[in-house]
Amino acid sequence: MTVKDRYRGIIFPALLFLSLTLAPCPGLAEGEKVPAGDLTKMPLEELLRLEVETVTTASRFRQPVFEAPSSVSVVTSADIRAFGYRTLADILAGVRDFYVSYDRNYSYLGGRGFSRPGDYNTRYLLMVDGHRINDAVYDQASIGTDFPVDVDLIDRIEVIRSPGSSLYGTNAFLGVINVKTKRATEVGRFEVSGEAGTEDTFKGRLTTGIPIGEGSEIVVSASKYRRRGKDELYFPEFDNQANNHGVVRGNDADASGQIFVNAAWGPFNLQGAMARREKDIPTAPWDTVFGAPGTKSADERGYVDLRFARDLGAANLTTRLWYDHYRYEGDYVFSGYTNRDLSVGEWWGAEAQLTGKVMNRHEWVAGMEYNGYIRQDQYNWDDNPYQSNLDDIRRTYQWAAYLSGNIRPFRDLILSLGARFDRYGTFGNTFNPRLGLVYSFLKDTSLKILYGTAFRAPNVYELYYNDGGKTTKASPDLKAEKISTYEAVLEHSFPHHLRVAASVFHNAIDDLIVLIEDERDGLLVFRNVEKQETTGASAEVEKRWGKTLRARLAYTYQESKDKTSEKTVVASPRHLVKFHLQFPLFRDALQFSLEELYVDSRLNGRDRDAAAYFVTNLTLLCLNWAPRLEASLSLYDAFNRRYEDPASAEHRQETIAQDGRTLRLKLTWRY
């Protein structure tokens, strides 16, 4: 990409956004979100037509976004439909400060200057309706086709950028992502959805939502997805006669299935999900045979979560009991034999939480949580002939207590305090506080000064995985990673529905767990060896005209350094630009959406880096063109930009090519 092309990808969205912002703005539409400010001075008629946007993830109790002690983004089901998002990875790629990479096996999330090629998103806590999705073996947060809930069932996603260990413990290291699912009234009595796209991509979904009575309902959904993948992939690192000149054919298939149930009756809520995903791996990782079929991965996840909520008068009590299952199967084809991985995680947990107010103005939340890990087993063996390389069986535990609250010494000032103590059976204790100051010093303006610490506990894969001394050895003495964050956030709402948010941030990470080669024996081993610091700033501007016409422009600058070597951190783009445009056609019967994403170049740590790129995604959404029928047509990477993502150490490739232009047609019928 030339310098001219690079800045065209930034300047064009900015100029288009500016021209739209200066356009006339009609009056406030029904359902418009309320900006920060003093609502008491608004006319009663206008107040009745407004809906204040609130979040619960930032503090574990409901509060307006402009009061939350975090930098928050909310993605709604309307956004998902309008922009044709297919996976959680697609959704997060469009959120300010975030970027996503893909190695043709898993999708990896980066944000605010931190991304590790091949990391399993262990430094983000991923939840569905408050239930932790990160597994008990790898701590993986699955955001691709292995995410256990169909995106059509998502009502909203609350993205919290700041660390959340003071409320949620491990994995809430760089942020918290809470996916909230739809209720029965939001999915309808019966829904049938079908998709077809390029590369023989097909998906079907059946969903039913049945309101039973006041406070009681049931939602049941099943989905099936299949994609043949790219017919041919070219990897220059394998360009020789023995490896078909670097061309692999037919080893890129992806298939998944999901079942989801949510039932509520009175104070009880029972939710369960089961999902399995299988993916062929065409990149020949870990020195497997290039082009040979059979190298693949399979992930299976399931959980049951029972929740009870009761109003005690002075406080609200919520108790939860859950059981989770995770299973990973990996097949790796080598010359003359197949190596296999099997990992099994089973765990149960319980939590009790109290929330309340003091003097009807000071909010507080307190709770205790326990996780009992029944199985954290890892196996590795060779076939033909059979040889066991790893047979590691573990049982551990973790418990925690937390306390958090908002103190309001004045109407316009909030002091947010919180802390959590965790006890782990693997490495011991950790304590993490949080401090935030939220000040509305002007009308429609909120200033947030935030400080917090967080940790990530080493998982059993990092602690105990080894292959019998062939390439990898265990690391039982690992310590928890630690991060300290400092952030200032300014949010302001101008007249005529123009909103601006800006932030500056600094993150300092210690004891970062890294896979290195031990010079004494040449074996790979995880060690706490790195320190990393990131300093950056970001801004977002959003303009709305009514309910369906809007534009949003976001920019992030980030500078990350490895403080051990003083080198720029790998896979960390310096600049990110996001532009979103949505406008109605034919009296709202047709909606057109444009998404422009720019990601700056990213270091690989080897000889070749991933070049900067920008991609354009287009979606045409047709509403009610036939009774109860909705249709959308999406064109991803519309201009067929050829771009690559950095590859992790298990690949010979330094960068991995992405898909290019793809097309999807989707039909949904509701009754």
Per-chain mean pLDDT for the chain: 90
What tens digit of pLDDT does each residue of 65-83 get? Answer: 999 999 999 999 999 999 9
What tens digit of pLDDT does each residue of 603-617 get? Answer: 887 767 899 999 999
For residue 541, give Cα distances in angstroms to 17, 21, 654.
9, 10, 36
Amino acid in position 615: V
Q: Are 592 and 619 in contact (CB under 8 A)?
A: yes
Q: Are 240 and 225 in contact (CB under 8 A)?
A: no
What contacts 24+ positions apart, CB below 8 Å, involve 232-236? Answer: 233/104, 233/282, 233/657, 234/657, 235/283, 235/284, 235/290, 235/652, 235/653, 235/656, 235/657
Q: Which residues pair with 585 in a beta bridge?
A: 590
Q: Could you tell me which residues come within 8 angstroms of residue 551 by beta carbon, excluding any fewer than 6 positions away?
A: 16, 17, 20, 21, 542, 543, 579, 580, 581, 582
What tens digit of pLDDT does each residue of 426-460 get? Answer: 888 999 999 999 999 888 899 999 999 999 999 99
- Phi/psi at 69 (5° precision): -80, 55
Separation between Cα atoms, residue 549 and residue 94, nearest integer Å? 18
Please say if the pLDDT value at position 274 is more than 70: yes
The reported pTM is 0.91
Of 640, 639, 569, the residue nearest 601 (C-alpha) = 569
Q: How many CB atoms lie within 10 A of CB 382?
A: 19
pLDDT confidence of 628, banded at 50, 70, 90?
A: confident
Average pLDDT over residues 576-586: 93
Percent of the chain scored above 90 by pLDDT?
A: 76
Number of folded domains that form the chain? 1
Separation between Cα atoms, residue 352 and residue 417, nearest integer Å? 20
DSSP for 236-265, please give it: GGG-SGGGGGGEEES---EEEEEEEEEEEE
Query: Quick one: tokens of 418?
Result: 């919180």
Q: What is the largest CA-CA distance in the chain?
A: 79
Of 602, 463, 614, 617, the residue nearest 528 (C-alpha) = 463
Query: Quick one: tokens of 618?
Result: 């287009």
Separation between Cα atoms, residue 595 and residue 140, nearest integer Å? 28
What tens digit of pLDDT does each residue of 5-52 get? Answer: 555 555 555 555 554 444 443 333 333 343 334 444 444 434 333 456
Q: Could you tell me which residues come within 8 angstroms of residue 160 by beta carbon, excluding any fewer than 6 positions away?
A: 55, 57, 58, 68, 70, 71, 72, 175, 176, 177, 178
Average pLDDT over residues 279-308: 95
**Owning domain of residue 16:** 3-670
For residue 497, give Cα distances in angstroms to 44, 315, 341, 578.
19, 36, 54, 20
Separation between Cα atoms, residue 254 and residue 201, nearest integer Å? 9
> Residue 608 belongs to a domain with what CATH number?
2.40.170.20
Q: Which residues pair with 172 in a beta bridge?
A: none
Separation between Cα atoms, residue 437 and residue 450, nearest integer Å? 6
Separation between Cα atoms, residue 615 and residue 594, nearest integer Å? 11
